[in-house]
Amino acid sequence: MFERLRGTRDFLPNEMAARKKVFSSIKKTVEEFGFFETDTPAIELFELYSIKSGEEIIEELYAFEDKGGRMISLRPELTPSVVRVLVSRAKELSFPVKWYSIPRLWRYERPQSGRLREFYQLNIDIFGSDDPRADTEVISCAIKLLCDLGFDESDIEVRISDRRMLQEFLLNIGIEKYHDVLKIIDKREKVSQKDFKEMLLGLKISEPQIKEIDAFLNSKGNFLESIENLSSSHKEEGISQVIESLRRIAQDLNDRGFEKFITFDPSIVRGLDYYTGMVFEVHDRKREFRALFGGGRYDNLAELFGGEHIPAVGFGMGDAVLELMMRRKNIWPEEKVEIDLFIATIGNVEKEVSKILTSLRNSGYKVDFDIMNRNLSNQIKFANKLGAKSLLIVGERDLKEGNITLRDLKTGNEAKITLEEFVSSPSKYLTKVL
């Protein structure tokens, strides 16, 4: 016997049915926002990931050498692949490009709650526009798809910040090594006040500077209000430009009715080296789980890949945390398979059954029948386990008079009708699943 590889999952039909419902809800919402689905290979050249990543990230790749001596990696994220496609096809594409995908990704990490080695991740991106409305579209889409799955503002919180704003702010108070400071700011929620301060002191940040940083980070709250407060207290040129574009995003999100979901939180940083502007995260309000989404602006990745300048904004949402959150709220779909009709047989009625099967299947019904030579009782048991909505009993005796029995397995009602009548207008008797 073999076992599943660590951090991977098997999906049995009932589990698959639930997952399909969730994914199709997501796809529907995203497509309502005008995104088109794409896909890319699961394997890519190792360099696609090593070019911009640190050692730790590379250690977490599923990588191997192929027979041609190339180093190959399973994709750990989608963005490099999408940007690769974009850069190589930029000439033929008309911008803005709005693409989405739900790829399977692989990361060689230690599995934990909400983190696996193989998982799905919804990715949506807008390329070609640096307008704040692109940011708004992406954030709105994130919120809307969660709403369509059954969440509301009491469940989730979108926290937004902007890397440029932080950078400008730090420059204004005389801090130049903002890289290191960002790293510490990113950890702020996890460490104590005291440790936070000591880490900053370790970088030779002065006490007054730390006070300023603290004040700035504490400016979190209602998105639009926080931004307006900041704009009156920060008139410096660099920062006020950033604030203006954030103000437009905030205003637009309010106009779309998403105000209650959003918090402005300057301590949001996200992983380094990737994002260039607005960044956001989505969490459950109780902070029971790890981040559900992460995303933001990454305007220079295309150039880094040897293309022209293509501004970009997008996010990724893993399926593992989503499932945990949906289960917690009891909105994970019922794990159940269903068919429209099961045909139970008594005696030798093969010819008639074949005709019924073919006719109904051609009309688009999901139909199954006994191929185990079970007795009637066991056939009915099996039909129920299959989740059949209706049961058709075709028996030798009744068939001599042209009759069959149709039972609704949900209500238990049954009726004897003629085979001819049933086959000629099945829609009178059956409804389709889904």
Partner RNA sequence: GCCGGGGUGGGGUAGCAUGGUUAUCCUAUGGGACUGUGGAUCCCAUGACUCGGGUUCAAAUCUCGGCCCCGGCCCCA
Q: How far apart are CA 46 and CA 242, in angstroms?
A: 35
Among 346, 353, 423, 433, binds RNA (CB under 7 A): 346
Among 309, 371, 412, 434, binds RNA (CB under 7 A): 412
| Beta bridge partners of residue 295, listed in sequence order | 280, 315
Closest approach, Cβ 89 to RNA, in A, equals 21
Closest approach, Cβ 367 to RNA, in A, equals 17
Q: Which residues of 300-333 are buried (b: 16+ CB within 10 A; e: fewer)?
A: ebbeebebeebbbbbbbbbbbbbbbbbeebeebe
Does 251 appear as a known binding residue? no
Closest approach, Cβ 302 to RNA, in A, equals 15
Query: Do the beta carbons of residue 277 and residue 134 sit within 8 Å?
Result: no
Does 121 appear as a known binding residue? yes
In the bound state with RNA, the residue whose beta carbon lies nearer, of 243 and 342, is 342
**Long-range contacts from 227-230, C-beta under 8 angstroms, 24+ separation:** 227/264
- 421 burial via Cβ count (<10 Å: 0-12, 13-18, 19+): middle
Does 274 appear as a known binding residue? yes
Q: Is 358 helix (H, G, I), strand (E, B) or coil?
A: helix
380 lies in the binding site for RNA (CB under 7 A): yes
115 lies in the binding site for RNA (CB under 7 A): yes
Closest approach, Cβ 232 to RNA, in A, equals 32
Q: How far apart are CA 126 and CA 284, in angstroms?
A: 25
The CB density around residue 132, as the number of other CB atoms within 10 Å, is 21
- 239 burial via Cβ count (<10 Å: 0-12, 13-18, 19+): buried
Scan residues 18-77 and list those touching RNA (CB under 7 A): 49, 53, 56-57, 60-61, 76-77
Among 27, 248, 374, 432, binds RNA (CB under 7 A): 374
In the bound state with RNA, the residue whose beta carbon lies nearer, of 111 and 333, is 111
Interaction pattern, residues 123-162, with RNA; x per rule: CB under 7 A: ----------------------------------------
Q: Reduced to 3 DSSP states, what percent helix, strand and coil does the chain have, rounded to the nearest 5?
A: 45, 20, 35
Which residues make up the interface to RNA (CB under 7 A)?
Answer: 3-7, 49, 53, 56-57, 60-61, 76-77, 79, 107, 109-113, 115, 187, 190, 270-272, 274, 290, 294, 316, 346-347, 372, 374-378, 380-381, 384-385, 391, 393, 395-399, 405, 407, 409-410, 412, 414
